Amino acid sequence: MSRTIPTVWLYGRGLDMWANVEEPTAASAPIRLDGAPWCDWLETHSTTRFAYPLTDRSAGWIAGFMTVRKEPRQRGGSYWTAYHRQGRRLRKIYLGPSSALTLARLESVARIFLAQRATKEGGPDIHALSGS
Successive 10-residue mean pLDDT values, the chain, 132 residues: 72 67 69 86 89 83 92 89 92 94 92 84 43 40
Give the type of residue at 93.
I
Listing DSSP states for 70-107 in one string gives EEE-TTSSEEEEEEEEETTEEEEEEEESGGG--HHHHH
DSSP strand pairing (7-11 vs 18-22): antiparallel
Q: Output the CA torsion sign for 108, 111, 116, 122.
A: negative
**What pTM was estimated for this model as a whole?**
0.78
